Chains A and B, each alone.
With several copies, the nearest count.
Chain A
Amino acid sequence: ACGADDGAAAGGSGPVTLRLGYFPNITHAPAVVGVEKGIFAEKLGSDVTLETKTFNAGPAAIEAIFSGALDATYIGPNPTVNAFSKSRGEAIRVVSGAASGGVALVVKPEITSVEQLKGKKIATPQLGNTQDVALRYWLKEKGLTATKEGGGDVKVVPQENAQTVDTFSSGAIDGAWVPEPFVSRLINAGGKVLVDERDLWPDRKFVITNLIVSTKFLKAHPDVVRKLVEGQAAANEFVNTKPDESQQAISDHIGKITGKPLDVKLIKQAWPTLEFTNDPIASSLKTGLDHAVAVGLTQPVSLDGLYDLTYLNEVLKAQGKPEVAQP
């Protein structure tokens, strides 16, 4: 790659522009609230211009980071790993966590036990993504088979999340292992939670959203990244302390972007399943990867150097909060 110099965020002392990406989505609550409430702008100060970009899926955000069109983004664990491994550890660093939990297996009410899943069709968001791996690994542990091609005891049907509600209510699938807000939506469409993924993890914690920055930007503007992490921590603080205000802010913000405010009831429903934490829960990412290898969906990759939590720990330390273990 070329030097630390980058067109839009030119180094040196001059004004810096930080281009921050996120999804208008409940699992990105800290980002949404941070932007909506001006928390980032406040923490970044006047010499940093904040430019926000919203995405509806991971690939465009990663492509933007890769091409230098984006400096930092909130993103799920899957694109994080892909971006890191495809750039051979060059392109990105995780600088903070954002959210944990919010994933469940929702099934038709008549299914009440694992055994009843035999011969059923269960959807996941995408072949080989976190939820897909979690489902397959869980099935394996329960002694059920599921092939990549959709065969075996349980038929795993990867499909876009947008489609799961339709397929679930039309009876084309019997359940789905999906993140929020689709969990809540499936429940509203008559589904029942069979497995809350939190129950499968130590401390009921696993990463669902973290904050990554491009390595280039990190090298050129470490101070800006620290301010960003400060902003993230502050946003999390806000979300955790003022849930009602945050929920309203999320609803409004999504309305601005998508053309229709998200139903606050739905946000409230999903809220308890999520935990907003600055810890990227690196161990869960690593374990998820091991699971993926175990179910034969990927080759082992090294995640060494993915995390750069120095800024986060500085911030936490300054606030007198427990630091996060650097993996």
Chain B
Amino acid sequence: MASDTLADAARADAEISGLDALEIAGRQKTTTRAVTIWASTWPKLAALAIAVGAWQVVVWAEVWPSYSLPGPGTVWQELVRQAGGAQLWDGLATTLRRAAVGYVFSVGVGLLLGLAVARFRVLRAAIGSMITALQTMPSIAWFPLAILLFELSEEAIFFVVVLGAAPSIANGVISGVDYVPPLLQRAGRNLGARGLNLYRYVIAPAALPAIVAGLKQGWAFSWRSLMAGELIVVGISQTSLGAQLTYARELADAPWLLSTMIVILVVGLGVDAAFGAADQAIRRRWGVLDQTGQ
């Protein structure tokens, strides 16, 4: 865990001779990489085992008919079957590409909007509250407008995604900027950072934790909006995860639905890992990582 603080802490030990250093190293608990990985893995495996076990027990108890709630085995088979074909991968690729593009758009719009609203009082008074209001607007409400503006193109999907995610990101930025410690802002101003430079050198980095939190929430919004938005244009030359989710439901195909849900969860886990790494890095820098002092 602490291995990076150390990388940073370099050079400070000029006065510790080689021998001293050896001695110190001996005194420390040396946690190997394998141990660290195992420590973060076994709880996941345990949680998975508990979840799957409970599921299997419910299925065995035959509370619901198997076409309504298939067992883990059935779903696993379905997943394997899907993984063997091209449709799942095509759909996943399409959706991930759209998600990436839509999210990048959303981040751009959200960051700009957030910074602008946080910075200009008039803008905040004018549209500050509108941001949350927009955030609560369900995606389907935007479909007609999206079609009006972009017809049946991917842009229509991106429009819905951006309207879903950007307000959330902007809100993260605003709340981050609002809570930047005044002392640091004053320090920055005194060091000559005014206007944009104050944002670049002080406010943005100070607000980073809240911004990352907002980006994470924004991802969830953008992904959900995408799943909905993908129904605007279904099957124009490509399938998508959102369409598969809907079809699975339409066809009352429970194993397919569950396996699609698993795919979505796995994607979510992957994205969370990325955000987790970013967060970890920030916390290490800021010195809030290990509260008990190594």
Contacts and interface: CB of A to CB of B under 8 A. Distances in A.
User: A contacts B directly in the complex (CB < 8 Å)?
Assistant: yes
A66 B67 contact: yes
A258 B244 contact: yes
B65 A91 contact: yes
Interface string B145-183: 001100110000000000000000000000000000000
Nearest to A216: B65
A268 interface: no
B152 A64 contact: yes
- Which of B232, B234, B244, B250 counts the most A-chain CB atoms under 10 A from its CB? B250
A194 interface: no
Interface in A55-109: 55-60, 62-64, 66-70, 78-79, 82-83, 86-88, 90-91
A258 B247 contact: yes
Contacts, number: 192
A62 B144 CA distance: 9
B141 to A, nearest CB: 11
**What is the size category of the interface that chain B forms with chain A?**
35 or more
Contact of B143 (A58, A59, A161): A59
A259 B244 contact: yes
Interface in A184-198: 185, 189
A52 B239 contact: no
Interface string B220-253: 0000000000011111111100011011111111
Interface residues of A, number: 66
A8 to B, nearest CB: 8
Interface string A147-185: 011110001011111110111011111000000010001
- Which of A1, A62, A79, A260 counts the most B-chain CB atoms under 10 A from its CB? A260
B252 A166 contact: yes
A212 B181 CA distance: 62
A67 B235 contact: no
Interface string A256-288: 111110100000000000000000000000000
A169 B152 CA distance: 12
B68 A170 contact: yes
B250 A56 contact: yes
Nearest to B63: A2
Given A63-B252, A159-B152, A258-B247, 9 more contacts: A54-B236, A55-B233, A57-B231, A60-B143, A60-B147, A169-B68, A181-B251, A259-B82, A259-B90
8 contacts: A82-B252, A86-B252, A87-B65, A90-B65, A150-B236, A157-B234, A157-B236, A259-B91
